[in-house]
């Protein structure tokens, strides 16, 4: 396979975003994971999940963030695993995680109880399954995934870490061609302050009102599609608060970046309605009241739609 071309984004990443020292080691781990599962006949999906934070000081006390909890990425990972994929889960530190995300609102000390005598050496701790009714089923599935080495978690915290790790992931997965999918569900910052322009110490409120001048984050989707993983199946996400501009922006993204699909959703209805937009079609995915009663999640519908599209994509490339 030909070496990826060097894009202008590569230079910008090197100049303005500090590269974590562990990136090369993580890249090798992702490449080995992808190669092993592709050899076993599995497809591999890289899921990005959670928000990115942008520091305002070198010795960071304050930073800009967004509302993303990582719910969509974590739940989607489970449905991809159920669909036979191996998953690289590139997620924000402390964002929601596959399987444990179901219990994120539970205080674990409230669901644990002692059996036998309450002594430091003689008691045992068990789970109150009335408070966690699905814990046995979830634990069983998690153990299957872990024993099968089907899930590779990779953490990031800052915007800089995310950008470098996504580039490393793209280059690692490029070795498996069309069997690779990128499901870019992370809520990535649009603006940042270059390290060279950041104050070293905490910004002092005694200096008066704060004025910030921020640069646009480089659009990493373009080099991912064109240079780093040109044979992969790539899905981006588009979230807006104004429904009237959503589909136009989704189609414009497809025209600009030439990837395979955009999952478009509006903030207020994102958990029950999305539109999967491709160059040839658009599919509206909606949960009914009955679906909601039966605990169906919109991510199950999204993953089902995209795995089918990926199958067609792989067939076209192999043909």
Q: Measuring CA to CA, how many Å separate 9 from each of 167, 168, 219, 230?
A: 10, 13, 8, 16
Percent with pLDDT over 90 in the chain? 72
Q: How far apart are CA 121 and CA 117, in angstroms?
A: 9
Q: Is-contact 131 102, C-beta < 8 A?
A: no
- The string of pLDDT tens digits covering residues 79-106 is 999 999 999 999 999 999 999 999 988 9
DSSP 158: B
DSSP 220: T
- The string of pLDDT tens digits covering residues 16-29 is 676 776 899 999 99
Q: How far apart are CA 199 and CA 57, in angstroms?
A: 5
Higher pLDDT, 64 or 27: 27
- The string of pLDDT tens digits covering residues 29-61 is 999 999 999 999 999 999 999 999 899 998 989
Q: Does residue 6 register a pLDDT over 50?
A: no
pLDDT at position 157 is 87
Q: Does residue 318 register a pLDDT over 90?
A: no
- The string of pLDDT tens digits covering residues 113-138 is 888 766 566 678 889 888 898 899 99
Q: What is the pTM of this model?
A: 0.91
DSSP 225: I
Q: What is the mean pLDDT of the chain?
A: 91
pLDDT at position 246 is 97
**Proportion of the chain in helix, strand, coil states, percent, rounded to 5:** 45, 20, 35
Domain ranges of the chain: 8-102+143-231, 240-319
pLDDT at position 118 is 60
| pLDDT confidence tier of residue 280, bands split at 50, 70 and 90 | very high
- The string of pLDDT tens digits covering residues 197-217 is 888 999 998 888 988 889 999
pLDDT at position 19 is 72
Provide the CATH number for the domain formed by 8-102+143-231 in this structure. Answer: 3.40.50.10300
- φ/ψ of 154, rounded to 5, equals -130, 125
Residue 303: CB atoms within 10 Å = 23
Instruction: Determine the angle formed by the axes of helices 23-39 and 159-173, rounding to 10 degrees.
Output: 40
- The string of pLDDT tens digits covering residues 140-186 is 999 999 999 999 999 998 888 999 999 999 999 999 999 999 999 99
pLDDT at position 253 is 97
Percent with pLDDT over 70 in the chain? 92
């Amino acid at each position: 396979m030909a070496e990826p071309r060097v894009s202008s984004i590569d230079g910008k990443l090197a100049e303005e975003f500090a590269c974590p020292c562990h990136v090369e080691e993580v890249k090798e781990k992702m490449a080995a994971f992808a190669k092993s599962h592709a050899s076993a006949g599995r497809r591999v999906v890289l899921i990005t999940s959670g928000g990115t934070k942008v520091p305002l000081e070198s010795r960071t006390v304050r930073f800009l963030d967004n509302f993303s909890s990582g719910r969509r990425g974590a739940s989607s990972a489970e449905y991809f695993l159920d669909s036979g994929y191996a998953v690289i889960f590139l997620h924000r530190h402390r964002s929601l995680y596959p399987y444990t995300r179901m219990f994120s609102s539970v205080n674990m000390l409230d669901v644990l109880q002692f059996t036998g005598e309450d002594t430091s050496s003689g008691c045992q701790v068990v789970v109150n399954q009335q408070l966690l009714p699905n814990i046995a089923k979830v634990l069983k599935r998690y153990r299957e995934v872990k024993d099968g080495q089907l899930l590779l978690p990779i953490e990031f915290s800052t915007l800089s870490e995310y950008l470098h790790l996504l580039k490393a992931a793209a280059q690692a997965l490029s070795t498996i061609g069309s069997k690779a999918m990128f499901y870019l569900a992370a809520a990535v910052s649009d603006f940042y302050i270059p390290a060279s322009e950041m104050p070293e110490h905490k910004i002092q409120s005694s200096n008066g009102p704060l004025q910030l001048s921020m640069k646009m984050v480089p659009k990493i989707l373009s080099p991912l599609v064109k240079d780093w993983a040109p044979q992969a199946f790539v899905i981006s996400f588009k979230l807006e608060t104004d429904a009237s501009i959503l589909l136009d922006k989704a189609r414009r993204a497809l025209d600009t970046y030439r990837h395979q699909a955009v999952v478009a959703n509006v903030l207020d209805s994102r958990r029950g309605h999305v539109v999967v937009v491709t160059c040839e079609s658009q599919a509206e995915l909606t949960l009914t009241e009955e679906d909601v009663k039966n605990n169906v999640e919109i991510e199950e519908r999204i993953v089902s739609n995209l795995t089918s599209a990926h199958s067609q994509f792989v067939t076209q490339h192999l043909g």
